[in-house]
Amino acid sequence: MALDLDLDGAVALVTGGVRGVGSGITRALRAAGARVVICARTGPDTLDDGVEFATCDVRDPDDVGRLVDGVVARHGRLDVVVNNAGGAPFADAADASPNFHSKVVALNLLAPLTVAQRANAVMQRQDSGGAIVNISSVSGARPSPGTAAYGAAKAGLENLTTSLAIEWAPKVRVNAVRVGMVETERAAMHYGDAEGVAAVGATVPVGRLARPEEIGDCVAFLASARASYISGSVLTAHGGGEMPAFLAAANADTASPSGTGRDGQQRNKEQA
């Protein structure tokens, strides 16, 4: 039986849905049948059919309130919320100002909490409840040098996800997607030219960076009735993760103590 992510008739809100991972999430939700409202501080050049735009600074609680109220006023309901807005520029933690750190935490942790809180108030009144999906990052589960406050905020977002899933059950399901490296229109800012992007992608076990739509598919699944028994979970989408640094530095015959590394695999074949 096909896995039908039927979101026909659902109303979804995606923060930061204009570009990058957010645009991939928007396309995936639309493909599943949802009507999608995207928000950001500046709008897109064009909008696809079934997609609306609303201006909002998600760090401003009053702005968030107006956003959610506006969605409900236009559509009469709110079924799915995706907290995607986030990010941080590179900054050494020793030199960054307290104001810089405060803004990073506000965008990546406090803003999702504010949006989720306002959405939950609506969803709790609906017979069908709702689903909230927080977009996290592998930076929250490993060291994040150069973006320390961002990594700490994403770790907090994952903990927040588990807490809200308990507090707001059974009406509202709350999950997160822990995202690895994604090839967006801004990939060159992080990884360089096409050769640099390919080189970085080669470090991922599946051999490439993620496409925004692949993250969108994860979100659409968690938002759908197919995930009706999934709440308080973190779905990791990182292509297998990162190769441990010690493997590149090791000069032993085997790349791991168990002999299952690349060199170990070759030696086992020769012995077979």
Catalytic residue positions? 150
What is the token pair recorded at 41?
């501080």
Q: Is 84 exposed, middle or buried (0-12, 13-18, 19+ CB in 10 A)?
A: buried
- DSSP letter (8 states) at residue 211: P
Cβ-based neighbour number of residue 163 at 10 Å: 12
49 C-beta neighbours (distance < 10 Å), count: 6
Whats the size of the chain, residue-wise?
272
Q: List beta partners, residue 51.
A: 36
User: What is the C-alpha separation between 56 and 42, in angstroms, rounded?
Assistant: 8
Closest by CA to 132, choosing from 105, 156, 100, 157, is 157
Contact criterion met (CB below 8 Å) for 18 and 40: yes
